[in-house]
């Protein structure tokens, strides 16, 4: 299992991601190397050298968060460690609807690129935001239309043949 976490270290808050084995033991916890966009307002940069592939009964498991999936040197580190399963976590894609740079299209392209080189299974999970959650954010006036509910196009890609399980028919369904 892969799990995203917020990790505090002194005065710094990091975006973390980890791998936990079937016995509940934590195998890997690493920090996102470079927050992007508004993440900079809250989170610190991780070291970048902590990309580690976990040895599990299911195979060699790696993790990258959001824009890390686009970084060639981080992907190369996973390739060198013989990655077989890649957890690629992505943000809520309902932010700024219509912007390709913050879309599932970009995420799917990055996932396919990793899968094609590493010949591994990619589990590309996205965050889903309900309308109730968006309402709770109490966005400032003028931000209407900047955030859309849903955005759950999580996908699984298999080696060579591509997508196995596509985006959900209802992107607001937390499936």
Q: How many CB atoms lie within 10 A of CB 34?
A: 17
Residue 31 belongs to some domain of the structure: no
Residue 4 belongs to some domain of the structure: no
Name the 3-class secondary structure at 35. Answer: coil
Name the 3-class secondary structure at 26. Answer: strand
In angstroms, how far is the first alpha carbon of the chain from the final one? 15
Task: Report whether pLDDT(168) > 60.
Answer: no
Residue 29 belongs to some domain of the structure: no
What domain range includes position 113?
Answer: 48-165
* Partners of 15 in beta bridges: 6
For 58-80, the pLDDT digits (tens) are: 999 999 988 898 899 999 999 99
Residue 27 belongs to some domain of the structure: no
Q: Look up residue 57 and give its DSSP letter.
A: T
Confidence grade of residue 145 (pLDDT, cut at 50, 70, 90) = low
Q: Domain with 126 in it: what CATH number?
A: 3.60.110.10
Number of domains in the chain: 1
Cα distance between residue 130 and residue 172, in whole Å = 7
Residue 7 belongs to some domain of the structure: no
pLDDT of residue 138: 78
Task: Report whether pLDDT(166) > 70.
Answer: no
Q: Strands, E, within 80-161: which ranges?
A: 85-90, 121-126, 155-158
């Amino acid at each position: 299992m892969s799990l995203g976490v917020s990790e505090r270290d002194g005065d710094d808050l990091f975006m973390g991601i980890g791998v936990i084995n079937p016995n509940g033991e934590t195998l890997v916890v690493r920090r996102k190397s470079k927050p992007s966009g508004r993440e900079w307002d809250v989170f610190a940069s991780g070291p970048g050298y902590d990309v580690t592939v976990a040895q599990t009964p299911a195979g060699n498991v790696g993790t990258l968060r959001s824009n890390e999936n686009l970084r060639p040197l981080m992907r190369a580190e996973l390739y060198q460690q013989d990655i077989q399963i890649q957890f690629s976590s992505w943000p809520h894609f309902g932010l700024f609807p219509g912007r390709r740079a913050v879309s599932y299209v970009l995420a799917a392209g990055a996932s396919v690129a990793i899968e094609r080189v590493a010949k591994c299974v990619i589990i590309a999970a996205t965050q889903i935001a309900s309308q109730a959650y968006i309402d709770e954010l109490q966005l400032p006036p003028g931000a209407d239309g900047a955030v859309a509910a849903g955005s759950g196009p999580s996908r699984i890609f298999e080696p060579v043949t591509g997508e196995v399980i596509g985006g959900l028919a209802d992107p607001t369904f937390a499936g």
